[in-house]
Every structure is written in C-alpha cells, then in structure tokens.
Amino acid sequence: ACCWRHNFQQAGGGQEERSEHGGEDRHVAFFHAAPPRASSNAGRAFPRRGAPARSLRYATGSPFQNPKSKLQPPPTGYAEHVEDRHGHRISYLRLSITDRCNERCRYCLPQEKQEWLPREGVMSYEEIARVVRVAAGLGVRKLRVTGGEPLVRRGVIGLIRALRAIPGIEDIGLSTNGTLLAAPDPEEGTTDTVAQRLADAGVRTVNVSLDTLDPASYALATGRDYLAKVLAGLDAARTAGIRGIKLNCVLMRGTNDKALPDLVDFAHARGHLMRFIELMPVSRTDVLEENTFLSTLEARQRLEERFGPLVPRPDFRTNGPASYFEVPARGQLVGFIGAMTNLHFCESCNKLRLTCDGKLRPCL
Ligand code: SAM
C-alpha cells in the first residue's frame, strides 16, 4: 500500500487541474481528465501492469453497473473509470463523514479524551455530495459511507438520499459499529429504526464491526459495554431487509484470538458474511506490536482446529481485498483481509478514500 501511495503521489497526485466535468474540479486533484481514446486494456478484467498513466475511458454501457441496482445508471459520456499508472481502476469511493465515534477501540481511537476536529473543519454534506458528483463523472460507481462512526453524525440519512440521487452512483454501503442501528431515527420523530431508514434511503450493504461475542472482551476491545446494542442492531438491519451484512473482526492476539470459531458459527447461523482483518497501524503505530498482531494465516489455522481444512475459493470476490475460504461441511464462506501479510493486497485495489476534512487518499 505504501509503495503504491508513494508512486501515485510521484505520478503527480495532489496537483490542481481543471477537468471537463462542469468545473467542479478542485476536489479531484488526483485525476487528469483525458480525451476519450482507445485503451490497450479493453476487455481485460484488470489491466496489464505498466499501463499508461491515468488513462480515462468513457462508458459505452458500463460493465461496472450492478444489474440489481435501483440507483441511477451513469449518463452517456461519463467515464467508466480512472486508472492510475499501475492499472488500478478506481470505481469505489469511501466517504469518511466524521472523525467522531461513540466507541474507543484499542486499535483505532484508544484515548478516552479525544480531540475532535472543529465543526468547520469537517466537510459539509453539500461539499461531500459535490465531490461525489465529480467522482461519478470520473467513473466512481460505488460509495461506502464510513467514519469515525457515521451514524453519530446528524442528518446522515438525508446525505444518503442525496448521494443516491447522483447519476452514476449505483451502490451505497455503510460501515458502522452497529450500536445505533436499532435506535429510533432521531431525525424523523418516528419509531422506525435507523436501520429501516437506511434501507429506505437506498443502503444495500452494511459492514458491522464485531470483534468478539464475549461481552467482557468486547468492552475491553472497544472501550464500551455495547455488545447488546450491536446484536440488536444486527437484528434491526435484518428486519429492515438489508441482506448484504458483513461482519468485520480485527484480529488481536490476547483479546479475541480464542473467539474466532464462535464468530464464524454466529455468522453462519444468521446468514452474515464473516471477515477477519489483520491489525494495521492506521491511527497509532504502537497498536501493532508483536504480542497483539495475529496474522490471517494463524487465524485460519485456529478455525481449522474446529472446522477442519478450509478450502480456498479464489473464484469468490466481493468488492474488496478479502480472500475467501469455505468451511466445507456447511458451504459457509469466510473472508480474510491480510493487509499486512498478503503481498498481493494492493493489486486489485479499486478504492479511494475521502477523509472528513476533505483529503483524498489513494489508500485505506
Ligand atoms: N465505526 C465504523 C465501524 O466500526 O465500522 C466505521 C469506521 S472503522 C475505522 C472501519 C473499519 O476499520 C472497522 O471494521 C474497524 O474494525 C477497522 N479498523 C479500525 N482500526 C483498524 C486497525 N488498526 N486495523 C485494522 N482494522 C481497523
């Protein structure tokens, strides 16, 4: 990830330049809009390495279009995708809408006293929607609303409705800790849950952080005794008809390494997709230490002690870097995100991230 980010920046990331898309170009500093041209990568699922830098192709019936999507297809003339010089095709934008969170995960926001960004330092919803309009014109088709905890920011459902209305955006997902999904929507003054409002607003998939099913370990990992709220939130999401529910567990030796098989059983019983993520030094370098890091390989071995050999399923992919394996006796798929140990982690990346203070990052 780091060398890709480095190379991407060397390739001219960060320069300001006018684009062809309605003048809304100040936020798309990483992209060069080029006139349509024949691509040497036509017809390839992923382009050849060493493809020309920052080429841009224009849609002629986008293969990125999700046939089940009820959202808007891209208008004719919109770009199908942007490529960097390593051939990564960018079609997916993660939107961090707040730095605030109601939990204090040890690997993310461990300090109790948190200095939040001042309100004026956080992008307004209008600004976020404006960036998304430009990004859609450049080939972004899928959004994931994240944070901090996105559900602590007021008006998030209104934002999702606004994003949904942007032509070209075909899919909107949400990443949440799940604690507020079962709460009544405070904006609407009704008894509908937040999960129901999200579903009604067009959210198709929800990724919920769940590191353990043991209340004491949950409180230790997240700094809050909210496991029951998360479980209620998962029920609310299912009741709301959200079918694409993924559970994300960050692997932590000494905290949840013994809990992994129970999480897999839980996901199986409820029809969720379970994924295990290696601890990354994303916010503080000292979260990742030898005595806390647990690799996806070791996690797999722990699962195999309970379930027998897991079978690789390279044919199964979601819109991300997880490698999937099957628990053969029950046909259950389990994902492993080896951010630190998988040498091919960055190869198929199609994402950019917009931080809540308006920075565009070419890496998670
Ligand atoms: N609050 C939301 C949530 O819990 O999903 C969205 C933001 S959270 C930062 C997004 C995801 O990043 C969660 O699945 C979380 O577990 C994961 N994450 C946070 N810090 C991490 C770290 N140091 N290493 C690996 N994953 C991390």
Question: Which candidate, 345, 326, 341, 339, places its Cα nearest to that of 268?
Answer: 326
- Give the containing element (helix H, strand E) for 245: strand 244-250
The tokens describing 189, both together, are 């003054």
pLDDT in tens, 124-150: 999 999 999 999 999 999 999 999 999
Q: Is the Cβ atom of 280 under 6 angstroms away from ligand 1?
A: yes
pLDDT in tens, 155-166: 999 999 999 999
CA 287 to CA 163: how far, in whole Å?
34
- The DSSP symbol for 51 reads P
| Residue predicted with more confidence, 316 or 111 | 316
pLDDT in tens, 85-111: 778 888 999 999 999 999 999 888 767
The tokens describing 13, both together, are 């990331």
Q: Is the Cβ atom of 337 under 6 angstroms away from ligand 1?
A: no
- Check residue 185 and give its pLDDT: 85
Question: Which candidate, 342, 272, 252, 263, places its Cα nearest to that of 306?
Answer: 263
Instruction: Give the residue whose CA is nearest to atom 19 of ligand 1.
Output: 108
CA 176 to CA 326: how far, in whole Å?
25
Question: Which candidate, 235, 248, 244, places its Cα nearest to that of 206?
Answer: 244
Q: Is the peptide bond before 148 cis (omega within 30 degrees of 0)?
A: yes
- Check residue 282 and give its pLDDT: 74
* 200, 208 contact by CB (below 8 A): no
First to last CA, the chain: 9
Instruction: Give the residue whose CA is nearest to atom 25 of ligand 1.
Output: 279
Average pLDDT for the chain: 80
CA 273 to CA 333: how far, in whole Å?
7
Instruction: Give the residue whose CA is nearest to atom 4 of ligand 1.
Output: 177
- Check residue 46 and give its pLDDT: 30
CA 71 to CA 69: how far, in whole Å?
5
- Check residue 197 and give its pLDDT: 96
Cα 182 from chain centroid? 21
Strand 323-327 relative to strand 332-337, pairing: antiparallel
> Other C-beta atoms within 10 Å of 230: how many?
26
Share of the chain above pLDDT 70, in %: 75
CA 50 to CA 7: how far, in whole Å?
12
For 266-322, the three-class secondary structure string (H helix, E strand, C coil) is HHHHHCCEEEEECCCCCCCHHHCCCCCCCCHHHHHHHHHHHHCCCEECCCCCCCCCC
The number of residues making up the chain comes to 364
All residues at 6 or more sequence positions from 6 whose CB lies less than 8 Å from its CB, including other chains = none
Mean pLDDT score, 263-268: 98
Q: Is the Cβ atom of 99 under 6 angstroms away from ligand 1?
A: no
Q: How far is the CA of 276 from the centre of ligand 1 (A)?
A: 11
Torsion of CA 193, 196, 201, 203, to 10 degrees: 120
Q: With H, G, I as helix, E, B as strand and everything else as coil, classify residue 129.
A: helix
Q: How far is the CA of 108 from the centre of ligand 1 (A)?
A: 7
> Other C-beta atoms within 10 Å of 48: how many?
10
- Check residue 188 and give its pLDDT: 73
> Other C-beta atoms within 10 Å of 38: how many?
8
Does 42 score more than 70 pLDDT?
A: no
- This prediction's pTM: 0.81
Q: Is the Cβ atom of 209 under 6 angstroms away from ligand 1?
A: yes
The tokens describing 175, both together, are 């990443």
